[in-house]
Amino acid sequence: MNFNSLGFLIFISITFFLYYLPFLKRFQLAIVVGASFYFYAYSDPWLLTLLLFSIFWNASIVYLIQLPDFESKKAVLGLGVVLNLSVLFFFKYSGLFAKTFLASSQGSDLHWIFLIPLPIGISFYTFHGISMVVDFYRMGPEILKERITYPNLLLKSSLYINFFPQLVAGPIVKAKEFFPQIQAKNFKDIPWISATKILILGYFLKTVIADNLNDLTFVIDFPYNSHHSSFALILLIFGYSAQIFADFAGYSLIAIGTALLFGYQLPTNFNFPYISSNFSEFWRRWHISLSTWLRDYLYIPLGGNRKGNLRTYINLFLVMALGGLWHGAEWRYMVWGIGHGLLLLVERFLEQNLPFSLPKNRIVLFLKGTFVFLSVSLLWLLFRLPNFEKAMDYLGLIGSNLTLATDWELCSFLLFFSIPVFLYHAYGWYKERFTQASNEWVSVVGYSFLLFLIVLNRGPSASFIYFQF
């Protein structure tokens, strides 16, 4: 069920009404869990099968881990991590590895592997399962502050893994941050102003910016790209950068705002990433919940930066490569991750070995930020185009299409719908550097204008880009 659909509006209205009915208050947890199952199974009920198994085995493992007299906690933890990764590999990557390494084998009957469906949101709820077993192993009773029965744990695990606002595309929530929030919620405690602002901004980014840009950036694909000038092709790269930010940040904001209506706080997922002046900063601002998950559950367990420079470089490279592959079962996503990994390695090496320090004035920061944005935007081509070769062909067209006439109508619409994203980032840059008293009237007018645009200037409805991951 898409957030930007009439069905979702009806679904959330009914769920919200039942959730806060006074005589149903003791059933709040069951209501939101049931609603989340319905939300996930809306288009394909068979998807529930794997999700239910995931909830069952993760809850069972956590229950064993929290038993004070159970002596094989580390072994059970290992089993939990292996089970989650095995399911992710089988459903998401078995086809990729079979196609790469086994398809040429004579006499092998592998066609069934390519028929394995990709369950929606498996990348996200698998990471939730890993966080759950690891956090309970590390923290034990500190997470829940009490011993609970297995049925109660199963219900709370269902909410954590299956909470509908963040189920399909995040933000990724750590178990240690979510479980303490599971308690009775009161209608009077809803932060209406914050939730409304977040939802308006999220729907504006998705329906007005991302959906309209989606109707333009299809030109990036072959053969459309071969008929456009170099200027238009360059502008399309920036347009897609604006689109992918607006699409994913929009989803995250809608998820965060919706969760607030039900009394739960999800982590911030984007913090003006395109104002970053280096690649480390970009990953502290982009898809924050993924980068912190990879840091806490992969980079640090691998040794982080505690075992010398060479090991740090290896860890960074490995984490970024695997983080890239997490995005999709195609090698182009790993190439994308490797590209970011190499940029992080070079950046770290130069910071440690340059015999001088660059001045930190605004001109230098602007130039560094421009380089980061250009690099990130070029790498986004691997998300939009089907393979690495097509991305290289696209760059070749930029050099060869210099004499083609420019489609100024396309370019003007690209600029019209991209500029708000960059103005939003300019506002973020200003906000971080200058403090000023907030003007409530300006805020009300601004959000009212965004709401007006949502009603009158929505683009053709399109699925969220991150649904494919």
Instruction: Please give the positions annotated as active site.
Output: 327
Closest of 229, 237, 235, 239 to residue 406, by C-alpha:
229
Whole-angstrom distance between the N-terminal and C-terminal Cα of the chain? 16
- Distance from C-alpha of 202 to C-alpha of 208, rounded to nearest angstrom: 10
- Write out the two tokens for 312: 């740090």
Q: Is the C-alpha dihedral spanning 208, 211, 217, 223 positive or negative?
A: negative
DSSP 264: -
Q: Which amino acid is at 238?
A: F
- Write out the two tokens for 434: 């200058």
Closest of 277, 214, 234, 232 to residue 425, by C-alpha:
277
Say how far residue 167 (Cα) sits from the centre of its chain: 11
- Distance from C-alpha of 439 to C-alpha of 390, rounded to nearest angstrom: 48
Closest of 260, 137, 242 to residue 196, by C-alpha:
260
- Distance from C-alpha of 327 to C-alpha of 382, rounded to nearest angstrom: 11
Side-chain half-sphere CA neighbours of 12 within 13 A: 19
48-70 burial: b if 16+ Cβ within 10 Å, else e: eebbeebbebbbbbbbbbbeeee
Helices (H), 303-330: 309-326
DSSP 205: I
Count CB-CB contacts under 10 A for residue 47.
17
Question: Hey, what's the torsion of the CAs at 366, 367, 373, 376, to 10 degrees?
Answer: -140
- Distance from C-alpha of 210 to C-alpha of 462, rounded to nearest angstrom: 9
Long-range contacts (CB closer than 8 Å, 24 or more residues apart) made by 409-413: 410/216, 410/219, 410/228, 410/232, 411/231, 411/232, 411/235, 413/212, 413/216
Question: Hey, what's the torsion of the CAs at 242, 243, 246, 252, to 10 degrees?
Answer: -130
Count CB-CB contacts under 10 A for residue 22.
7
